[in-house]
Amino acid sequence: MKRILIIYTGGTIGMVESDDGETLVPFDLDHIMAQIPELGKLHLQLESYSLPKPIDSSDMRPEHWCTLTEIIASNYADMDGFLILHGSDTLAYTASALSFALAGLRKPVILTGSQLPIGMIRTDARENFITAVELAGMHINNEPIIQEVAIYFEYKLYRGNRTMKVSAEAFEAFESPNYPVLAEAGVHIDLNKKNLWRSPFDLFTAKPKFDSNIGVLTMFPGIQKAQVDAILNVHGQKGLILQTFGSGNATREPWFIESIESAIERGLIVLNLSQCDKGAVEQGKYQTSAALKRIGVIGGADLTLEAGITKLMFLLAHELDPDILKEELTSNLRGELTES
């Protein structure tokens, strides 16, 4: 029997009503397992680990990503797959972060959650949980079918670092706008095997390290110099996500270009990501992005915001030579971007 480690972090999937019936509070994993006796029919050996203090995913921090990385690494040799139960709000951030921290991954790490707590009548938690466990245990010729960090939600399996949350209310809460789904669950689980990631590295290596000294600057019509300079001059900041219009465009106001250029000359790494969910940054395609390319802004292709933030945090933490760091940012390390 394949061994699957279920890691419970908290979130809606494990919450129950409080005594006053007005709020939701985290509960323990035993409660979740009791709600789904069907898990015993999967012929998998399920083991569990719960964070000492389960948290709402809004409180998720890079320190928790490091803890999850270490849990997976310490159990990697003994387990055939991993399932992480996680709140949906920051689930795509955690999935992206883990994809970078787990190099040479040859086993499934699947994250899931729910929009309604597992104890509610109309909950989506049961199906998400059961199918995610089944996916984590799928093997062919004793080799895991899925060998990457993925998100399973509402009948679809997505690459973790290609996914974003798009709805606070619908059960179809996630989308992968620039990459096809890995699998769809209906009467059967249909795997899109050609879309599955296979690591180019021979050895599994865990690198639980992130530097959160970054910022996000979102462009909007009428943005002021004082606002831009305030974000560019945050003490200790090492990297910045510049969220631009369309295919990477921003205002050509001289003061804006000069402010960004000055920050880059001071050593700030600036990564250009589009505010659009679909499509990619193509710096130089229009005049409004040519100046950004000229001054050293790095084009982020079709990275999601979640993947861009976590990838930048991950690379900054490893104190790479600036030229190598920039090359890594634009390279497809874990299937997170489409290389031109």
Please identify every residue annotated as catalytic.
12
- Closest of 234, 190, 189, 192 to residue 215, by C-alpha: 234
Task: Give the span between the Cα atoms of 325 and 319, in whole angstroms.
Answer: 8
- Lookup: tokens for 153: 């939600």
Secondary structure of 1-28 in HEC code, one letter for each residue = CCEEEEEECCCHHHEEECCCCCCEEECC
Give the chain's end-to-end CA distance (angstroms, integer).
Answer: 43
Q: 306-309: long-range contacts (C-beta < 8 A, 24 or more apart)?
A: 306/92, 306/93, 306/95, 306/96, 306/161, 306/163, 306/164, 307/96, 307/99, 307/161, 307/162, 307/336, 307/337, 308/241, 308/271, 308/273, 309/93, 309/96, 309/214, 309/216, 309/241
* CA 23 to centroid of chain Cα atoms: 27
Torsional class of 323: left (φ above 0), alpha (ψ -120 to 50), beta (otherwise): alpha
Which ranges constitute the DSSP H helices of 219-253?
Answer: 225-232
Question: What are the strands of the beta sheet with 3-8, ordered from one edge?
Answer: 45-50, 3-8, 81-85, 109-112, 149-153, 156-159, 183-185, 189-191
CB 138 within 8 A of CB 180: no
Q: Which two tokens stand for residue 69?
A: 């990385």
